[in-house]
Structure 1
Amino acid sequence: MKTPPIGLPPRNGEENQKMRDELQRLSDQQSRLFAQLQAGENHFKQLARSVWRVQENERRRLARELHDGIGQHLTALHHRLHGLARNPGCSVDERLQQASTLCETAISEVRALSRMLRPQILDDLGLSAALQWLARYSSEDSGCMIEVDVGDLPEDFDSELSTLIFRVAQEALANALKHAQAKHVVMRLTRRANHLLLLIVDDGCGCDVERAWRRSSESESSGLASMRERVNLFGGQLELISQPGEGLQLRVRLPLTVEPGES
């Protein structure tokens, strides 16, 4: 019969049970940690795939606009100039005017594409001016009435957070105009304590919210998924409220870092 080491009293059944319970607790805790790590790894994999999908969709859109718009204008311009070189005495003034018009159209489309990729006004004048510009540009292009109300923002507003809000507003407006066929959109950005609240309401055709989220999770539509994932990366929440035929509300709540001394 084995004896306990010198100086240690023999363990009774109650102590052994406590040790087994503690070991089981540690084992369960370890299993939960491994499960959380696995869930986190899966989440980051999904996020990486979503980012990649959004990037590819954006590249596809840019390639289509460059080919169908600017590319065609430059090709037509080339034909006009080539025709002038071959027949210099045939309607020179008219062909030069056509070539000039094609140049102006191509330049205009390049500038519009550049502004939508990264509007200079966002860096030069800030988020409020950029949202006003976005609303005016979208309204002129679609005929939709778009109202913008931006409250007081911190003077040293974080540029990445500013970009995030602009991109969410840009995507939400695109959805409202292209898919929901909205005629009136209201956009409000306000500060509440240490948070920013973005509200975008449209009078479009609305949607089944659960179905919209399901489609986004199944990669059928990347715009909604990319908005939610970008907001989540900044510790925020994005909520949709809608019913078919009743318009849509998009609500975003983002934490705002407050510098010492600010209220």
Structure 2
Amino acid sequence: MTRTPASALYWRILGINGLIFALGTAVLAVAPVTISSFVLLRELPVLAVGLAVMMAANALLLRASLAPLEGLTTLMARLDSLRSGDRLATSRNGDLFHLVDQFNAMLDRLEADRSTSTAIVLDAQEAERRRIAQELHDEIGQSLTVVLLELKSVVNRAPADVAEELRGVQETVRSSLDEVRHVARRLRPGVLDDLGLTSALTALATDFSATSGPRIARHIQPLEGLSPNAELVIYRIAQEGLTNVWRHAAAQNAELSLTQAPDGRITLRIVDDGSGPPAKPGSGIHGMQERAMLIGAHLTITPAPTGGTGGTGGTGGTEVKLTVPPASRRTDV
């Protein structure tokens, strides 16, 4: 019969119990202790001590054999599908090391499948964004531009009172054209493809500062060794983080920083002095966590350090921090 981990554990427990009872029988056989056919009161302590010793030995041996089950239960309770790398340490001397190895292997497969599926979905999303941005720029943008030119020609020939009204229409069309271009840039920032991540983040912070939202200070360091996928992930997380600050945080100030440590580790931080982290993460935060997983990065969303942003003295606020490991340990889609 094939020896499986389950059968091995069965025979191990059976052997432990058999050994304990055999030792107990041997001790009673050689010990100068007799038991009457009717147990006397003075013999009860001897029996109680013997039973206690056997049960204690049995409990200790079984606890050592089944200890990995407690670790597995704890791991399953704290396991987060959006946090990778959480595994249970194995010891080749344990009785359940096969179970632990298979559980860790299962987690590896699940995380690999999730990363692959997420990468496919996000790639399709980026392709769709690129297509929509291109259509907005090439079709709607050009159509609005033609409308502006025709309006200009009409204004030049129209009577003064009508021309004044047409100028108002011109401004509305021009505003719509600017909005279309802004949406197209947010869907697929051409500056990211043309000039790189540093320029794209600078332009992103400038765009948000130009709105009626919080004032955004930026500290962006030029980076080395980033792949296009990693750059896109960092940009999208920064974009979503600033969007959350603008829409939900009710902040007056925010700070966007991107730094690279001497060991190659890259840190993106978005700190605001607003109302603090959300009580329940929404779809935007889940999307940020999924993107971080794609490049093996670690994302945390916590209350901002005391002092607010830039030492403004606030006590609330949120800190979004993305830590990207060095290039030798980063995985790209």
TM range (shorter): 0.5 to 0.7
Change (3 A) 1:27 1:170: closer
Question: Is the partner of 2:211 in helix, strand or coil?
Answer: helix
Instruction: Tell me the matched-pair count.
Output: 212
- Once the 2 structures are TM-superposed, how far is the Cα of residue 127 of structure 1 from its aligned partner? 1.4
What does residue 184 of structure 1 align with? 253
What does residue 230 of structure 1 align with? 291
Q: Tell me, yes or no, if the aligned pair for 1:50 and 1:222 is still in contact at 8 Å.
A: no
Question: Is the partner of 2:251 in helix, strand or coil?
Answer: coil
Q: Which has the higher contact order (CA 8 A, sep 6+)?
A: 1
- Once the 2 structures are TM-superposed, how far is the Cα of residue 97 of structure 1 from its aligned partner? 2.6
What does residue 108 of structure 1 align with? 178
Give me the whole-angstrom Cα distance separating, in 2, the residues matched to 1:131 and 1:159: 14
Give me the whole-angstrom Cα distance separating, in 2, the residues matched to 1:191 and 1:41: 27
Change (3 A) 1:98 1:170: same
Give me the whole-angstrom Cα distance separating, in 2, the residues matched to 1:135 and 1:240: 19
Give me the whole-angstrom Cα distance separating, in 2, the residues matched to 1:142 and 1:89: 37
CA RMSD, 1 decimal: 4.2
Change (3 A) 1:90 1:202: closer
What does residue 9 of structure 1 align with? none
Change (3 A) 1:37 1:151: closer
1:138-179 Cα shifts (integer Å, max 9, x gaps): 01112421111112411x642221111111111001101110
**TM alignment of 1:81-230, pairs within 5 A:** 92-154=162-224, 157-192=226-261, 193-207=263-277, 211-212=279-280, 216=281, 221-230=282-291
Unaligned runs of 5+ in 1: 1-15, 259-263
Change (3 A) 1:151 1:97: closer
- Once the 2 structures are TM-superposed, how far is the Cα of residue 27 of structure 1 from its aligned partner? 6.9
1:242 paired to 2:303: yes
Question: Is the partner of 2:316 in helix, strand or coil?
Answer: coil
Change (3 A) 1:97 1:129: same
* Among candidates 311, 322, 326, match of residue 252 of structure 1: 322
What does residue 8 of structure 1 align with? none
- Once the 2 structures are TM-superposed, how far is the Cα of residue 124 of structure 1 from its aligned partner? 2.1
Q: Which amino acid aligns with 2:317?
A: G
1:115-140 Cα shifts (integer Å, max 9, x gaps): 11122222222211211111111011
Give me the whole-angstrom Cα distance separating, in 2, the residues matched to 1:45 and 1:107: 38
Structure 1 stretches of 4+ with a deviation exceeding 6 A read: none
- Once the 2 structures are TM-superposed, how far is the Cα of residue 189 of structure 1 from its aligned partner? 0.8
Question: Is the partner of 1:194 in helix, strand or coil?
Answer: coil
Q: Tell me, yes or no, if the aligned pair for 1:195 and 1:254 is still in contact at 8 Å.
A: yes
Q: Which amino acid aligns with 2:292?
A: V
Q: Tell me, yes or no, if the aligned pair for 2:226 and 2:327 is still in contact at 8 Å.
A: no
- Identity, % of aligned pairs? 31
Unaligned runs of 5+ in 2: 9-95, 305-314, 329-333
Question: Is the partner of 1:206 in helix, strand or coil?
Answer: coil
Question: Is the partner of 1:179 in helix, strand or coil?
Answer: helix
Structure-1-length-normalised TM-score? 0.63
Change (3 A) 1:194 1:38: closer
* Among candidates 82, 93, 103, match of residue 32 of structure 1: 103
